[in-house]
Amino acid sequence: MSGGYPVTCFSGAWIISLIEGFEQNRLNLTRLLNLPYNLLEHSAKESFMLMKIMEYLSDSGISLRDFFGSRHIQEEVNKVIEPIVDREMGSNEALSLLRQDSIRKFHVYKKVDSALESAQRSLYLSSIVFAWTMFEAVAQETYHTLRINRPDLNIPENQVITGDNGTSREKPMDFTGVEGIRRAYRYFDGSNGLNQHIWKCVDVKELATTRNQIVHSGGLVTRRFIELTKNESLVIGQPIPIDLSLVNRLVKAALKAGQELLNFIDQWVCDHPL
């Protein structure tokens, strides 16, 4: 079982697959956010290797013409240099310094390279959309999977909506927002205990609001977004200010909310055995 989750008392493999799927998405999201730094680390390692090759060629009296013109010489030089690079770059201290330097260089490059800055913003926007979709999916899949696998619980497939004229009609459960997910999970007694972590969590609500703004308005500020965030300093038509600190906060909110939801349902089914 993945770390952070209790030993489940669900009887079927279906709930295990839900948890494993959520964990895989968490890993995918982490990899996405680490991509710029991984690329910089790779570039730094390649540069370091090139420097060592140049030093070796100079010490050995091998010209660049001979090196680049002979595959055999390249292979022989690489046999000598690669272990040196792996040894010097492989220590924890070296990797730590490299990561710090990569992060520093990335922020320097971002300021002077508008293309890189735009790419980084796109990565942040994608991460926020991914984070909300991950939480929305685990809420929806957990609900419907439990409904199908535990018919004895009589979990409703639809919700009853009452119109302004007093007439009622049924429609499928809505998992596209915090309030819709909360309404669906009202079926489970004790779900109000999730107030602190999900239903009333400021970061989860901000995640949903920001995700909607990215998807529906291209990440540009609108009057509606200002009203929802109560941030009058924003300028309509300008990009939503997004930095790594905001992304980390919203992504962590999605991960925590998903874990709390799975933990809650796990305990609920333990308390309602077949």
User: Which letter does DSSP use for residue 273 in this model?
Assistant: -
Choice between 261 and 86, residue whose per-residue pLDDT is larger: 261
Hey, what amino acid is at 267? Answer: Q
Which residue has tokens 């999916």? 137
Dump pLDDT digits (tens) for 151-195. Answer: 888 888 888 777 777 777 888 888 989 999 998 998 887 888 888
Hey, what amino acid is at 59? Answer: D
The two structure tokens encoding residue 91: 């220590």
* Model confidence, pTM: 0.75
Which residue has tokens 């300021």? 111
Q: Which of 42, 125, 120 is nearest to 85 (CA)?
A: 42
Hey, what amino acid is at 44? Answer: A
Dump pLDDT digits (tens) for 69-97. Answer: 999 999 999 999 988 887 777 655 555 55
Which residue has tokens 């309509």? 236
User: Which letter does DSSP use for residue 199 in this model?
Assistant: I
The two structure tokens encoding residue 106: 């990335």
Which residue has tokens 């079982």? 1
Domain boundaries of the chain, sorted by first residue: 24-112, 127-274
Quick one: average pLDDT of 244-263?
92
Query: How many angstroms separate the CA atoms of 78 and 82, rounded?
Result: 6
